[in-house]
């Protein structure tokens, strides 16, 4: 277990490991074409980019271990991508925000910044593929 996560419940830890998946699903799947994304392509293109901060390496290494399985599970859970699913995903991200607020202040800030950069990167990449992407405002709530 990541030492900074000791204050969290098992459910909160699992949710934090799943946040990059939720962000990826939101960014890559709410397009008009309703095309099923490729988990491996998304993991390679997005996740590897954010494994640079030495303090966050253990977090992203944990995320990477289960990313593809969690992504596939999220696709099954949220497809077809309609408004109620977007609302549910936003709630999950809000829960993750509350879990992040329980972490050590410095670590929480670094994790939040990294997730914000990840969200912007995924959105920018998805925008180039899907011009009518609707990205949730709740991602910015992680800044609080």
Average pLDDT of the residues in 74-85: 80
Question: What proportion of the chain, given as a percentage, has pLDDT over 70?
Answer: 69
pLDDT of residue 123: 73
Query: What domain count does the chain have?
Result: 1
Q: What is the three-class DSSP state of 31? A: coil
pLDDT at 18 over 90: yes
Mind giving me the DSSP string for 98-140?
Answer: HHHTTS-HHHHHHHHHHHHHHHHHHHHHHHHH-TT----GGGG
The structure's pTM equals 0.76
Work out the end-to-end distance of the chain between its first and last CA atoms, rounded to an integer number of angstroms: 25
Domain with 100, as residue range(s), is: 3-143
What's the rounded mean pLDDT across residues 115-132?
67
Render pLDDT for 38-77 as a digit per residue (tens, 0 to 9). Answer: 566 556 555 666 556 888 989 988 998 998 899 889 888 8
């Amino acid at each position: 277990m990541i030492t900074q996560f000791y204050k969290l419940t098992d459910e909160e830890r699992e949710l934090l490991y799943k946040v990059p998946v939720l962000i990826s699903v939101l960014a890559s799947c709410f397009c008009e074409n309703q095309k099923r994304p490729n988990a491996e392509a998304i993991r390679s293109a997005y996740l590897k980019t954010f494994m640079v901060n030495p303090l966050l390496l253990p977090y992203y290494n944990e995320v990477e271990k289960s990313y593809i399985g969690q992504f596939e599970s999220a696709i099954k859970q949220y497809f077809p991508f309609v408004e109620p699913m977007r609302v549910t995903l936003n709630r999950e991200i809000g829960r993750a925000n509350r879990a992040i607020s329980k972490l050590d202040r410095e670590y929480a800030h670094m994790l939040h910044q990294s997730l914000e950069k990840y969200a912007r990167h995924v959105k920018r990449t998805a925008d180039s593929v899907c011009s009518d992407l609707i990205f949730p405002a709740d991602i910015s709530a992680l800044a609080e």
